[in-house]
Amino acid sequence: MVEARITVNGKSTPISPAAPQTTVLDFLRDRGLTGTKEGCAEGECGACSVLVARPGVNKPTDWVAVNACLVPVASLDGQEIVTSEGLATAGEPGTAPALHPVQEEMAVRGGSQCGYCTPGFVCSMAAEYYRPDRCAHAATGTDADAADGHDAEHGPNGFDLHSLSGNLCRCTGYRPIRDAAFAVGAPTEDDPLAQRREQSAPEPAATEYTRDEGTFVRPGSLADAVRLLRERPDAVVVAGSTDWGVEVNIRSRRADYVVAVDRLPELRELRVESDHIEIGAAQTLTEIERRLDGEVPLLAELFPQFASRLIRNSATLGGNLGTGSPIGDSPPVLLALEASLVLADADGERVVPLADYFTGYRQSVRRPGELIRAVRIPLPLSPVTAFHKIAKRRFDDISSVAVAFALDIEDGVVRKARIGLGGVAATPIRALATEAALEGKPWVTETVEAAAQVLQAQGTPMSDHRASSEYRAAMLGQSLLKLHAQTREAVSS
Ligand SMILES: Cc1cc2nc3c(=O)[nH]c(=O)nc-3n(C[C@H](O)[C@H](O)[C@H](O)COP(=O)(O)OP(=O)(O)OC[C@H]3O[C@@H](n4cnc5c(N)ncnc54)[C@H](O)[C@@H]3O)c2cc1C
Ligand code: FES
Ligand code: FES
């Protein structure tokens, strides 16, 4: 087996002697690259953000910012990363390196005080700086306000502030950071990281990395993965590691045998067929968002509300469904879309409607050794859709309650209603009684108020530190009233 290595700031570096669960953050810091900081070790602050070269959506390679505190370094065998130190370019011997344009703007616009968060901010900013379609939305001349999509969250240079939604700053305040983000120009032609986008990203290396603490395996194919899972019933499956990484860091969970599925080609397809869309379970949420580009409006509404850009750059649909969490954000949406899961093991595949998948708190019909290979969404899509996530913060927060609607309304009458709920029972559920209360009825205030009463009695919401059961129930009813208020004119016109 070839020695596991990672390219850091252009230099190939052996991963050994890191343990299989060692994070990229600890690996870097152990090698003196202390620009990458630990703030929280659970994906919340972005102080650990670094850039990874991944297969691109619009170019052969995208520079993608990820939370180094969550990703095991063994998972980046054969891959390339850039840290805040690597963004600056070396000058003449004896002179200081030249700052990268995002570092320069942060410095001159006062975007850094104590500096603890700054390396993470500049890495997230650099990923957005290199996003291939960013400059397509930039303003020209002096007419900045007329730029396509230029608003409080998008700069005249096309910079999307949501790219920084996973980065926290305690002392500077966000105004100067925003000023720096909105001031960066386009990469120059001789910019080495811009040029790097034109070549393919590194292929995922088939890896078997064993130390005293355990083994990290990246199989080369789905067939190899399901065979290993049959041979090793104790194996822990990992995709983007945004849930697993928190378990390792905060709850000290360890696994003797980890099987990584995030780069399996069979789990990374996205196909639009005549009667369904199939999304590979190991596509990251950012990839799905950019590849579908609004084709499934309910998913397009979900993504910006799901965690932060940093988390979405690693998190997968397979991982969100694999946890079986009753407060995951994708299940309500996928329930409303009537999605099915393609499950695969060493004996073959089977397709299970998501509505039949969850069987209890964090339990499902998925058998030991079975992987979620893909999610299938039937076509055509219902035209009236909405995703309402009720959480304490607008971004980067877990839902207290989540409600997804998909309605067919023809001639003012609800022909079909599908409603998915999260956070109100031990599993994500369909609001079947509410669907029945709407179907065949006119989409008018009387129907909606009566159905809202039914909706707020659905599920068995609990009280916890996020919300009381009464609040959760009330939010369900409000959610339907809100949908009606937002759509009644469009539907009746
Ligand atoms: C700061 C932060 C914010 C978050 N915010 C949100 C949020 O807003 N909404 C939300 O829903 N979640 C949120 N999460 C949770 C997490 O990001 C999601 O659940 C994510 O989708 C997990 O995907 P992953 O690929 O990282 O999973 P991993 O951590 O790699 O795996 C999670 C679980 O899924 C299993 N698994 C992974 N892939 C498969 C597969 N193909 N087949 C079978 N099992 C599989 C693994 O065995 C593991 O048990 C947040 C997490 C963090 C750290
Ligand atoms: S250390 Fe806070 S997100 Fe990684
Ligand atoms: S500059 Fe101090 S935390 Fe951001």
Q: Give CA–CA dist 62/306, Å, rounded.
A: 21
Per the listing, tokens 């035209």 go with 383
pLDDT of residue 148: 52
Angle between helical axes of 174-183 and 101-108 (0-180°, round to 10): 140
pTM of the shown model: 0.95
User: Other CB atoms closer than 10 Å to residue 449's CB: what's the count?
Assistant: 13
pLDDT of residue 149: 56
- DSSP string across 12-48: EEE-TTS-TT-BHHHHHHHTT-TTS--S-SSSSS-TT
| pLDDT < 50 stretches in the chain | 140-147
What six digits make up the tokens of 17? Answer: 């002697």
Cβ pair 26, 34 in contact under 8 A: no
Q: Give CA–CA dist 283/291, Å, rounded.
A: 10
Per the listing, tokens 């790219």 go with 163
Q: Give CA–CA dist 400/184, Å, rounded.
A: 37
**Bond from prior residue into 380 cis (ω within 30 degrees of 0):** yes
Reference 21, options 206, 215, 229; nearest CA is 215
pLDDT of residue 137: 64
Q: Which atom of ligand 1 is nearest to the CA of 237?
A: 47
pLDDT of residue 409: 97
Ligand 1 neighbours (beta carbon < 6 A) = 42-44, 236-244, 246, 261, 267, 281-282, 306-307, 311, 314-316, 318-320, 322-323, 328-329, 371-372, 396, 398
Strand arrangement, sheet containing 401-410: 384-390, 401-410, 413-422, 429-430
Q: Which ligand does the CA of 70 lie closest to?
A: 2
- The Cα diameter of the chain in Å comes to 78
Cβ pair 37, 119 in contact under 8 A: yes
Q: Give CA–CA dist 231/213, Å, rounded.
A: 19
Find out whether the beta carbon of 43 lies less than 6 Å from any atom of ligand 2.
yes
Q: Which ligand does the CA of 75 lie closest to?
A: 1
pLDDT of residue 142: 43
Torsion of CA 106, 33, 38, 155, to 10 degrees: 20
Report residue 485 CA to chain centroid gap.
30
CA dist list (Å): 59 to 62, 255, 428: 7, 36, 37
Three-state SS at 351: strand
Find out whether the beta carbon of 108 lies less than 6 Å from any atom of ligand 3.
no
Q: Which atom of ligand 2 is nearest to the CA of 310?
A: 3
Q: Give CA–CA dist 12/135, Å, rounded.
A: 32
Q: What's the whole-number average pLDDT of the chain?
A: 93
For ligand 3, atom 2, which residue shows the shortest CA distance? Answer: 114
pLDDT of residue 141: 42
Burial 114-146 (b: 16+ CB within 10 A, else e): eebbbbbbbbbbbbbbbbbebeebbbeeeeeee
Per the listing, tokens 């972005």 go with 46
pLDDT of residue 135: 78
For ligand 1, atom 14, which residue shows the shortest CA distance? Answer: 307
Per the listing, tokens 């299970």 go with 352
